[in-house]
Structure 1
Amino acid sequence: MATPLKSLSALLAQTSLDDHDEILKAANASIKRSKTDIDAHHAKAIALLHLDRFEDAEKVFVDVPELQDKARFEYAYALYKAGNAAKAVKVAAAGESSTPMKHVLAQAAYRSENFEQAVEVYKELALKPGNEYQDIKINSGAVDAQLEWTGQGELAQKKRPEREDLEVFETAFNAACGSISRGELAQGEICLKRAKDLCNDLSDLSEAEKQAELWPIIVQQIYVLTQLGRVDEAEQLATTIPFAEIKELSTRYIAQVNSIAASKEHSNPYLSHRLFHSSPTPSRTDQFFSFQSNLLRQDEYVMDILVQKVAGVVSSTSKVISAAPAPTLSPAVNMAAVLNAAAHARNISEKAALKRILPLLEKRPNDVGLLLTITNLYVLTNNLAAATHLLESFFKRLEQSGSASDLDVRHAPGLVATLVSLYAKQGRHTHSKSELAKAATYWRHKSKSPSKSLLIAAGTALLDTHNQDSLVQAGEIFSKLYEQDESDRAAIAGLIAAYATSDPSKIPSDLTSQLPQVERLVSDVDAAALEDAGVPTLAPTAAQPPSSRKRPAAETSKSGKAKKIRKKLLPKDYDANKKVDSERWLPLRDRTYYKPKGKKGKKKMEGLTQGGPVVEEKAADGKQASGGGGGAKKGGGKKKGKGGKW
């Protein structure tokens, strides 16, 4: 056994570090002579890693279990690069806490979508001195973007792009992805343009390497332009992409899908369906993230529905639904439920679709995706009461079950927000506040990092109640938010507002100084101008009746000049020099200056005077005739014709 060891060591000493093919040949020769030579297996694994043959390197560690403990770092790295990220996390976490191992652990956690763990590892690496600051910053930005995409934005270390993020194209691209995931498309477009310019200005990359870095940026630009409604620009940009030149198959696949969405030529659903399935499937080492896979699978189902493959969609989505427990918050399962309902409805009107889909709810009463689909149809048909009752009944069933997973679904921020929105539409604000408070209380005791938006909404709603117990609860909510982020202005303002009247001692002494000064907030407010424009007065004046508390603002233009009335709105005989009649809106007989003409006109006016003195006239026989509107006496008047009745 000594001979192969010497020959291998001698060969390693004579070869350069880049001559990994020769090292691999020598290692294989040594292993052929002695299969138990651990050093030869180790050298082989390292040579395979340098040659980017990661799956072969992983196989070496699988075939030689003794090597897994001896070369744990190389084993973890081989697993990560071979696409087995979840196992790489376990191996790296159980190994030494060296900086290289921490990097492998963070990268493996990122690829296995354990973003919370990746955030913590990168925080630890950032505290260690060294020249890896830029790499850690780039990778941390990628983790923050993924947290936003997966709905865990409260765990992200950075919420807004900073100046230093736009100095390197990698950080600028990550900042763009983070902005896009938060729905800030305009900001994302700016960051993408900056990343593109920075990449083009690089001098240490060849043109081919630059182009490889630019493809993801361009593909993301197409998506942003499409979402902004600028389809023509997106289509023009998509035509510049030679899909066959994109080496990363995952990027090529997404580029193909985005080009279909941005193209007006692909209005034929059958042609779009063929193009959608024309891209090659990515390998195991170049897989999509879960949120990408869900969206692409959704696109596939929609394409199938458009080409009338309805039965296939019903069958495939039913398998996804039945394989998961109900209820669930899994985006993939709930998305499948929505498209399952769409396939059953077959593109009919809302009311007709309800008749077809409601029987499905009897079979799957805890299907969240189906439940939300029916709720949406009720809203579209203006039946808010039915939509509210449907969600309330679902929540009640989950509360009665008592299961921990059911309670998580019952208090899910998205479902709570849906019910609160329905309450708000119906003016049931008390129910909204109660529902928000209940969800906030649940998550504060259940999770270490509950949804920030949910807590802020609940705390704000509790502040509006002006109830002592509610103020205390709001103070607890904002206190937790302040502990998580002491620079959060919403948490600071809410904390002060909650405890200002209930318990001022709980407000930190230096907290009020962080609020903006009142003078600065009202510095641009002109109180005199507001008063002149019609601000309600405190009390009516003597010349002003109590019913009128406002002084109308003068009709002036922005330049301060009086508004001119257009000529076509004026009467034909209008004279600017003639005084306008102030009583022109009253009937002629009600105007103060009206004088009837002739005896008949005067007599008619006297008869129309209500509430005035009545002049009694003498009848021909000397008796007084009743004035006003008196009726004829019984038996008097004109006789009726034959057969007439009195």
Structure 2
Amino acid sequence: MASSTKSLSSLLGQTTLDDHDEILKAANAAIKKSKADLDAQHAKAVALLHLDRYEDALKVFEETKGLQEKAHFEYAYALYKTGNAAKAVEIAGAGPKASRGTKHMLAQAAYRSEDFAQAAKVYKDLASQPVDNEEYDIRINSGAVDAQLEWTGQGELAQKKKPTREDLEVFETAFNAACGSIARGELAQGEVCLKRAKDLCNALSDLSDAEKQAELLPITVQQVYVLTQLGKMDDAEELATSIPFADHSIKELSTRYIAQVNSIAASKEHSNPYLSHRLFHSSPKPPVTDQHFAFQSNILRQDEYVISLLSQKVAGVAASTEKVISASVAPSLSPAVNMAAVLNAAAHARNAETEKAALKEIVPLLEKRPNDVGLLLTITHLYVITNNYAAATYLLESFFKRLEQSGSASDLDVRFAPGLIATLVSLYAQQGRPGASKSELAKAAEYWRKPHKSKTEAPSKALMVAAGTALLDTHNLENVRAAGEIFKSLYDQDNEDRAAIAGLVAAYSITDPSSIPKDLLSYLPEANRLISDIDAAALEGAGVPLGTLNTTDIALEARKRSLAPTGPVPPRTKRLRKARIPKEFIEGKKMDPERWLPMRDRSYYRPKGRKGKKKLEGLTQGGVVAEEKGSPAAQEKKGGVDKGKSKKKGKGKW
């Protein structure tokens, strides 16, 4: 063993550091003499890693007992390069006190395994202990991690929320700043940063044209996406045609795949869904070591389903999405599962012409999958489109009640998910129910503030701020105390958060003003700034009372006289409801007080013509009624008189 190690050391001393083939030959020669020689096995593994033979290097680590414990860094690197980033994180973090190189390895593996929070933490630790020639790389990698945190909904963990001047000095940091802006929905800012990144890359003199093209391709692909989202379809299509698909110059297949999809979305020529379907599947799938991130895969899968629906492959989409849904436990907050549920509902709707027709096809699915979050939100959205807010609210409230009654910890996590809470609060706001909104936000904040085993992520900052603000608005002392605790926890997480500082000061000013730290008051705007545009003299002249003053009775009386009106007070105009205003109403014109009476009963009614005047005489109350010849009374009187006259008294009769 000693002799083999000595001979190996002498051989390594005779070779250069770049001659890894010679190192590999020497290591193999030593291993033939003794397979248990860890130094020789270690040298062989390192040589294979330098020769980019990562699978062979990993095989050495797996077949040699004790080598994994001896070389944590090299083993983690082999796992990382072969596509097993999650295990690489486990190995890199489980070793002895990590060296700086191991920390870099851990950060890279955490980034690739989509544990962006851990990657951000490691890079922050590395940045706190600066080393020469590393600041540039750490700044680039930290920017990439911040962008990924924004994409995955963990933006509160990002170190930078806005691009700085130093970010726009190098094309790599400018590109990362653009990605962060796009993830936050700031598309215009992202477009500016992408143009800056392109200009900086083209201006580099130490890169060849081929190297520049390789660096510019991801920027161009991202530009096509941004232009499409901004609605600049002509610019997007023109830019997409400049991407060289034919010569296969895009070496990263993951980038090539996204570029192909973006070009289809930006092209007007691909209006034929069947042609788009063929082009979508024409690009080769990336290998294991070059896979898309989860949020990218989810969007690409969604695009695939949509193109299939447009190509009338309804049954296939329904069956495929059904497999994804059934493979997950309901209810689920997984974006992939809920996206599949939405497209499954679209497949069952079968291109319904109206929202009501779609509801008729989709609502029965809820009986089979009552806890399907994606399906539930789809039906809720259709109810909102048809202005049936009551049905949408009842649907969500019933779902929440079922989850509460189940008592399952995972169900409660779904019950108080920030997105679902925001949906219900929006429905309450649409219906003018602020009390219900405040109550729902308070319940959600109370749940997320309590420790719970099932909770896998930190509570949403936006949810906690909204809940704290709602509790402050109730003006209830207990609620204000709860709001103070919420803002205190947010302040402990980030002592520069202005929303947390303002909420904390507002809550403490009511419950315990003496406990407000003086350093927090410096963040609040000065009173002079808040009243700088207010004219106190004008307010006093208009009659605004100054407050309690220690003056004599004469001064008080003088003040009363000064506040009294100097001229006649104009009568207060009575406001009419809109429903009672006539169609011909003209503002400023005095309305007829007798407008509600029939025309013949109005005092100014004067009929026209002889018949009208004669009719008016008969309408006079209390006057003599003239009987016409044809009237029933006249006929009766006439009949009575004639009857009396014709009846003669007979002779000899009484």
Q: Same fold (TM over 0.5)?
A: yes
Any idea what the Cα deviations from partners look like across 1:323-360, whole Å, max 9, x if unmatched?
A: 11000100000000000000000110211111111111
Decide which of 365, 369, 377 is 2:374's aligned counterpart.
Answer: 369
Please tell me whether residue 207 in structure 1 is matched to residue 209 in structure 2: yes
Q: Is the 8 A contact 2:627 2:633 kept in 1?
A: no
Task: Name the SS for the 1:300 alignment partner.
Answer: helix
Please tell me whether residue 298 in structure 1 is matched to residue 298 in structure 2: no
Q: Is the 8 A contact 1:95 1:101 kept in 2?
A: no
Q: Which amino acid aligns with 2:323?
A: K
Q: How far does residue 222 in structure 1 lie from its aligned partner after superposition?
A: 0.9
Q: Equivalent residue for 1:108?
A: 109
How far, CA to CA, are the matches of 2:55 and 2:465 in structure 1? 48
How far, CA to CA, are the matches of 1:191 and 1:523 in structure 2? 37
Q: Equivalent residue for 1:254?
A: 258
Q: Equivalent residue for 1:360?
A: 365
Decide which of 516, 520, 535 is 2:525's aligned counterpart.
Answer: 516
Q: Equivalent residue for 2:570?
A: 545
Q: Equivalent residue for 1:445?
A: 450
Any idea what the Cα deviations from partners look like across 1:224-256, whole Å, max 9, x if unmatched?
A: 111111111111111111022111111111111
Q: How far does residue 59 in structure 1 lie from its aligned partner after superposition?
A: 1.6
Q: Which amino acid aligns with 1:120?
A: K
Q: How far does residue 62 in structure 1 lie from its aligned partner after superposition?
A: 1.3
Q: How far does residue 519 in structure 1 lie from its aligned partner after superposition?
A: 2.7
Please tell me whether residue 399 in structure 1 is matched to residue 401 in structure 2: no
Q: Equivalent residue for 1:497?
A: 506
1:301-316 pair list within 5 angstroms: 301-316=305-320
Which runs of no fewer than 5 residues in structure 1 stay unpaired?
551-581, 591-606, 611-624
Of stretches 270-279 and 163-172 in structure 1, the one that deviates more from structure 2 is 163-172
Any idea what the Cα deviations from partners look like across 1:114-159, whole Å, max 9, x if unmatched?
A: 1122122222212223122222222121111111111111121221
Of stretches 500-509 and 426-435 in structure 1, the one that deviates more from structure 2 is 500-509
Please tell me whether residue 430 in structure 1 is matched to residue 421 in structure 2: no
Q: Equivalent residue for 1:639?
A: 630
Q: Is the 8 A contact 2:110 2:118 kept in 1?
A: yes
Decide which of 325, 328, 333 is 2:329's aligned counterpart.
Answer: 325
Q: How far does residue 23 in structure 1 lie from its aligned partner after superposition?
A: 2.2
TM-score, L = length of structure 1: 0.84
Q: Equivalent residue for 2:384?
A: 379
Any idea what the Cα deviations from partners look like across 1:176-221, whole Å, max 9, x if unmatched?
A: 1111111111111111112222222222222222221111111111
How far, CA to CA, are the matches of 1:643 and 1:288 in structure 2? 105
Decide which of 486, 497, 517 is 1:488's aligned counterpart.
Answer: 497
Task: Name the SS for the 2:627 alignment partner.
Answer: coil
Q: Is the 8 A contact 1:155 1:449 kept in 2?
A: no
Task: Name the SS for the 1:511 alignment partner.
Answer: helix
Q: Which amino acid aligns with 2:314?
A: V
How far, CA to CA, are the matches of 2:573 and 2:493 in structure 1? 51
How far, CA to CA, are the matches of 2:511 and 2:27 in structure 1? 76
Q: Is the 8 A contact 1:169 1:198 kept in 2?
A: yes
Q: Equivalent residue for 2:621?
A: 630
Query: Percent identical across equivalent pairs?
Result: 72
How far, CA to CA, are the matches of 2:421 and 2:175 in structure 1? 34
Task: Name the SS for the 2:518 alignment partner.
Answer: coil
How far, CA to CA, are the matches of 2:324 and 2:634 in structure 1? 88
Decide which of 154, 161, 165 is 1:163's aligned counterpart.
Answer: 165
Q: How far does residue 482 in structure 1 lie from its aligned partner after superposition?
A: 1.5
How far, CA to CA, are the matches of 1:627 and 1:391 in structure 2? 69
Structure 1 residues 396 and 527, CA, compared in 2 at 3 Å: closer, same or farther? same
Q: Equivalent residue for 1:570?
A: none
How far, CA to CA, are the matches of 1:539 and 1:10 in structure 2? 108
TM-score, L = length of structure 2: 0.83
Structure 1 residues 232 and 66, CA, compared in 2 at 3 Å: closer, same or farther? same
How far, CA to CA, are the matches of 1:12 and 1:378 in structure 2? 74
Please tell me whether residue 506 in structure 1 is matched to residue 515 in structure 2: yes
How far, CA to CA, are the matches of 1:645 and 1:273 in structure 2? 97
Q: Equivalent residue for 2:394?
A: 389
Structure 1 residues 327 and 635, CA, compared in 2 at 3 Å: closer, same or farther? same
Structure 1 residues 512 and 306, CA, compared in 2 at 3 Å: closer, same or farther? same
Structure 1 residues 148 and 527, CA, compared in 2 at 3 Å: closer, same or farther? farther
Cα RMSD of the aligned pairs, angstroms, is 3.4
Q: Is the 8 A contact 2:23 2:47 kept in 1?
A: yes
Q: How far does residue 71 in structure 1 lie from its aligned partner after superposition?
A: 1.3
Task: Name the SS for the 1:45 alignment partner.
Answer: helix
Q: How far does residue 165 in structure 1 lie from its aligned partner after superposition?
A: 1.6
Any idea what the Cα deviations from partners look like across 1:276-300, whole Å, max 9, x if unmatched?
A: 1111111111111100010001111
Task: Name the SS for the 1:482 alignment partner.
Answer: helix
1:118-137 pair list within 5 angstroms: 118-131=119-132, 132-137=134-139
Structure 1 residues 633 and 627, CA, compared in 2 at 3 Å: closer, same or farther? closer
Q: Which amino acid aligns with 1:229?
A: G
Q: Is the 8 A contact 2:89 2:109 kept in 1?
A: yes
Structure 1 residues 434 and 60, CA, compared in 2 at 3 Å: closer, same or farther? same
Q: Which amino acid aligns with 2:630?
A: K
Q: Equivalent residue for 1:604?
A: none
Any idea what the Cα deviations from partners look like across 1:32-68, whole Å, max 9, x if unmatched?
A: 4543332222222111111222222112211213211
Structure 1 residues 39 and 402, CA, compared in 2 at 3 Å: closer, same or farther? same
Q: Equivalent residue for 2:560?
A: none
Q: Is the 8 A contact 2:147 2:177 kept in 1?
A: yes
Q: How far does residue 271 in structure 1 lie from its aligned partner after superposition?
A: 0.7
Structure 1 residues 256 and 412, CA, compared in 2 at 3 Å: closer, same or farther? same
Q: Which amino acid aligns with 1:639?
A: G
Larger radius of gyration: 2
Structure 1 residues 586 and 435, CA, compared in 2 at 3 Å: closer, same or farther? closer
Q: How far does residue 373 in structure 1 lie from its aligned partner after superposition?
A: 0.4
Decide which of 456, 460, 466 is 1:457's aligned counterpart.
Answer: 466
Which runs of no fewer than 5 residues in structure 2 stay unpaired?
545-562, 576-585, 595-601, 606-615, 638-654
Q: Which amino acid aligns with 1:502?
A: T
1:36-185 pair list within 5 angstroms: 36-96=36-96, 97-131=98-132, 132-185=134-187
